[in-house]
Amino acid sequence: MIRAHPGREKLNFYGTLNLLTGREIAMSSSVMNGQATAQHLQQILDSYPDVPIILLWDRAPWHFGAPIRELLEAHPRLEILHFPVAAPDLNPQEHVWKAGRSAVSHNHLVLKLPELADRFVHYLLSNTFPCSLLDDAVFQMVCAMPK
């Protein structure tokens, strides 16, 4: 017997990988919109106070809008560079999501979504995810792209 939840429960995650240390900043959210994204950006700013931050970002729709513009205007030390369209293979965060799913949800039985979410965030925050993007020639091309 396989039980299915009738309400299509879901939970979203925001994550940011520090390319120098391999450490992850992560949070769960019931929605993915500009307001939740701004909350995650504030989490990043709070995690790295008083240093300039360059954030490499995909072009998800919730990465744009008034809450994001307002936060960026209020915090000029945070600069955004966008990855090319439809290029998830360039985004190191995609590798973090894949590792997390493999470690936490694939071939594991967790009956309650909140417990699974807690395990996922715990995995993200308690592991490092080495990345060679800063040494990669592709990174140099991404950085050379106009805004």
- Domain tally for the chain? 1
Q: Assess if residue 120 is contained within a domain.
A: yes
Residue 115 included in any domain? yes
* Region 22-34 average pLDDT: 95
Is 6 a domain residue?
A: no
Per-residue pLDDT, 111: 72
Rg of the chain (C-alpha set)? 16
User: Who has greater pLDDT, 130 or 112?
Assistant: 130
In-domain check, residue 71: yes
CB 113 within 8 A of CB 13: no
27 within some domain: yes
Instruction: Say whether pTM exceeds 0.85.
Output: no
Q: Is residue 132 part of a domain?
A: yes
Q: Which domain holds residue 90?
A: 12-144
- Tens of pLDDT along 101-127? 999 987 777 778 788 899 999 999 999
Q: What is the CATH number of the domain that holds 78?
A: 3.30.420.10
Stretch 49-57: mean pLDDT, rounded? 94
Residue 89 lies in a domain: yes
* Percentage of residues of the chain with pLDDT beyond 90: 65
Residue 4 included in any domain: no
DSSP per-residue string spanning 75-113: -TTEEEEEPPTT-GGG-HHHHHHHHHHHHHTTT-----H
